[in-house]
Amino acid sequence: MNTIVITGGSRGIGASTAIECARRGLGVILTYKSNPDAAAGVVSRIQAQGGQAVALALDVGDASGFAAFRESVINALDATWNTSELSGLVNNAGYGLYAPIETVTEDQFDGLMNVLLKGPFFLTQALLPLLKQGAGIVNLTSATTRVATAGVAPYATFKGGLEVLSRYMAKEFAERKIRVNAVSPGAIRTELGGGLNAEFEALLASQTALGRVGEPDEVARVIASLLTEDGGWINAQSIEVAGGYNI
């Protein structure tokens, strides 16, 4: 069975992606940082639908733990799927910050950078030896890299860096036929940044051509397709999943 790792898989887009990938027959290793019960709930949903999944703890903002996490992945692959290889990696874990540039502290800046850019860089490096020939990597970026929105400069900056990194990964991993793409969600109904209240949702809907905010499942289906043969000839791309946000 082909098996993937999804960071931040206990809620939001990560959880939807884990469930969708399992529905398509992939084994799923999903990570969580602080809510093991939520992660266990996602695993239970996958198992109830006949899939296989394992939840592992991981702080994407602390690269010193990546070597130990790789060993945990190796053990899970062997124990659950009797394999030593991964077929995919989804760098999804993240959080938001809404603050004007003049108020952002160095600690806030560094925290975002560690999770949104440094983490995916070095976690991919750590798991690269496990990725098989022809594997797929999807990095979650953001429509805020295309449309400047006041108050999210650090978040958008690091997501923009991850978008560039995706192209470089595609270039450098091409010898092993590993495809790397970025998926760039627009306004999605998740808990990121504290979630959406009715007023903010109405504003975002008014800025979107299709007249509403998106759902995590709509992003998950795009990510899953990039990890299967459906996306086998898509590489080094940034795919915006935003319903026509600010066009």
Catalytically annotated residue among 32, 95, 98, 155: 155
Its sign, for the CA torsion 172, 218, 57, 108, is: positive
Torsion of CA 85, 32, 234, 47, to 10 degrees: 70
Q: Are 182 and 166 in contact (CB under 8 A)?
A: yes
Neighbours of 191 (CB within 10 A): 11
For residue 186, which of 170, 168, 209 has the smallest C-alpha distance? 209
The overall longest dimension of the chain from CA atoms, in Å, is: 52
For residue 28, which of 48, 67, 55, 57 has the smallest C-alpha distance? 55
Backbone angles phi, psi at 212, to 5 degrees: -160, 170
d(CA 57, CA 51) in angstroms, rounded, equals 20
Chain centre distance of CA 191: 14
For residue 89, which of 60, 61, 68, 62 has the smallest C-alpha distance? 60
CA angle 127, 123, 184 (to 5 degrees): 110
Q: Are 221 and 20 in contact (CB under 8 A)?
A: yes
- Say whether 155 is catalytic: yes
Residues known to be catalytic: 155
